[in-house]
Structure 1
Amino acid sequence: MSTTPNLDALQRDGFVVVRNLLTPTEITHYRTIATEATTKTRTGSWPHFRTGGIWGVQHLMHPSMPGREAFAKCYFSPTILAVAEELMGVNADTTTDNEPLVMELFNLLVAPETKDFELRWHRDDVAETATAEEEISQLAAKSPGGRQSHAQYNLALCRDASLIVVPGSHRRARTDAERNADPYEPHMPNQLIVELQPGDAVFYDSNILHRGTYKHKPASGEETRLTLHGSLGLKSADADDAEKKKVRATAVLQHGVGAWVHREDAAFGLGERPEKMRANLVAMGTGEGVGFSLQG
């Protein structure tokens, strides 16, 4: 029996589904506050969202977000952090100041109100214009030895079948069929729809070939999609390589978290570990040449 089954699956397939990551009580609790955050956004009271019919709510841990402490408890939960540590190959020593994880992003993916919305086939950090040779080089550099310097996940609070992936594509260049396919190709060869039940999470390599489909919600009906989307980083990878630090800092801070994470009122009051992880993000974003200011 493997001691790292989640990492084994991630390395082999490019994604791993972790079932029942939340208890039924937690699902109900988080669904309630996620619905409140979505309603606040839909009615214009929260300005940070993904456009296209509002399909995402940004900055769930922002000091001004109602329910941010509950969202933070979810993000920093030992259960989620344990999976992330396995996938990034680290063992956290919480008895010292050497916190290996970096706080990154925590957002909410929701169903658009008026019409369906789709994302193109893509890899998060490899341009679609890259040649096959460039793809292979960049994929190897971004996850040496099969491990990434960050982990990202979708955690479903309602049934979710929005993420579509091509298993194994995180370790190879695109095939001719993939390279020449329509950006919104509905039937990519070997694609798989990742189906999640409430409380399930999918952790995935950000450079697996993937896309998202967002079915709109019924008018005036209940929210049909409430999926928490988070990412966590690895401090050691940033500290050892200045260029990697710059690239990852840019990728995270471009989402706007750098405008508030350094503020005094951004403290979570949840113990030392969340504050150490937040401090790691502040430190990551203040190096030379990052290109983003933590003052906004």
Structure 2
Amino acid sequence: MVRLSHAVCEILNVKENELQLELFNLLINPLESDYELTWHRDAISPETSDAEEIERLKIPHYGTQWNTALYDETCLLVVPRSHNRVRTAEERRITEHDPLSQQMPGQLRVHLCAGQTVFYNNNILHRAAYSKDSKRATLHACIGTTTGGHHRAENIFQHGLEWMREEKFRRTLPESMFGPYDNLIRLADQEKAKAAEAH
């Protein structure tokens, strides 16, 4: 985890005490039938207008996401360099009306060998295709920075993080993640207080 933290610091150009643990889970293959996710950006919905998309893409990202494959895999598809521009007319048509399309212009299937990691901005156009016949166990995570504030909260708290507040969860973390974990809980408390003030 220490090497990953160093890589994240380099990508985001921050110090370790600015890191914020956000998401860490395991992606596995389905057992009974193949499964696919639609083309999407994690923080911008498909129905977003061009004008709003431009504004959303101007917001500094304050984080990075990654997949670390424990077995060889080819589940992730991306459109390179789409994370910092508005969708083309064809990309918009696909994300809104044909989101499982296998004909996305410029799509790239990411080939990971066991032990390899790919880092990406979660505003990149991406989707996943899981085969029941291909063994998959991939660590999937994102870490942000404390400077992201509400922008990161909006992105990560949609998943619900109450279970992470339990002390038994904190005890599962390596010591190097205590600081990033505490930063996340601090942000969650700040967002909760703001929501209470608004009501």
Instruction: Give me the TM-score of the superposition, normalised by structure 2.
Output: 0.88
Matched, 1:114 2:32: yes
Spell out, residue by residue over 1:119-168, the C-alpha distance to the aligned partner (whole angstroms, 9 max, x if none): 11111111111122221211111x3xxxx311110110011111111111
Asked whether the equivalents of residues 78 and 124 of structure 2 are also in contact (C-alpha less than 8 Å), the reply is yes
Matched, 1:152 2:70: no
Equivalence for 2:78: 165
Question: Partner amino acid for 2:181?
Answer: R
Asked whether the equivalents of residues 152 and 230 of structure 1 are also in contact (C-alpha less than 8 Å), the reply is yes
Q: Which has the higher helix share?
A: 2
1:125/1:270 Cα in 2 relative to 1: closer, same or farther (>3 Å)? closer
Comparing 159-168 with 128-137, greater Cα deviation is found at: 128-137
1:233/1:198 Cα in 2 relative to 1: closer, same or farther (>3 Å)? same
Asked whether the equivalents of residues 42 and 155 of structure 2 are also in contact (C-alpha less than 8 Å), the reply is no
* Post-superposition offset of 1:256: 3.1
Matches within 5 A, 1:33-52: none
Moved over 6 A (4+): none
Matches within 5 A, 1:1-296: 77-92=1-16, 99-141=17-59, 143=60, 148-181=61-94, 182-217=98-133, 224-238=135-149, 245=150, 247-257=151-161, 259-268=162-171, 270-271=174-175, 273-287=176-190, 288-289=193-194
Consecutive unaligned residues in structure 1, runs of 5 or more: 1-76, 93-98, 218-222, 239-244, 292-296
* Post-superposition offset of 1:266: 2.9
Equivalence for 1:39: none
Question: Partner amino acid for 1:189?
Answer: P
Question: Partner amino acid for 1:279?
Answer: D
* Post-superposition offset of 1:263: 2.5
Structure number, greater radius of gyration? 1
* Post-superposition offset of 1:264: 2.8
1:270/1:168 Cα in 2 relative to 1: closer, same or farther (>3 Å)? closer
Question: Partner amino acid for 2:56?
Answer: Q
Q: Which has the higher contact order (CA 8 A, sep 6+)?
A: 2
1:100/1:290 Cα in 2 relative to 1: closer, same or farther (>3 Å)? farther
For residues 267 and 111 of structure 1, what CA distance do their matches in structure 2 show? Answer: 27
For residues 264 and 183 of structure 1, what CA distance do their matches in structure 2 show? Answer: 40
For residues 74 and 11 of structure 2, what CA distance do their matches in structure 1 show? Answer: 23
Instruction: Give me the TM-score of the superposition, normalised by structure 1.
Output: 0.60
For residues 83 and 170 of structure 2, what CA distance do their matches in structure 1 show? Answer: 36
Asked whether the equivalents of residues 101 and 233 of structure 1 are also in contact (C-alpha less than 8 Å), the reply is yes
For residues 87 and 266 of structure 1, what CA distance do their matches in structure 2 show? Answer: 27
Aligned-residue CA RMSD (Å)? 1.8
Spell out, residue by residue over 1:19-38, the C-alpha distance to the aligned partner (whole angstroms, 9 max, x if none): xxxxxxxxxxxxxxxxxxxx
Question: Partner amino acid for 1:248?
Answer: R
* Post-superposition offset of 1:260: 2.8
Question: Partner amino acid for 2:88?
Answer: T
Identity %: 36
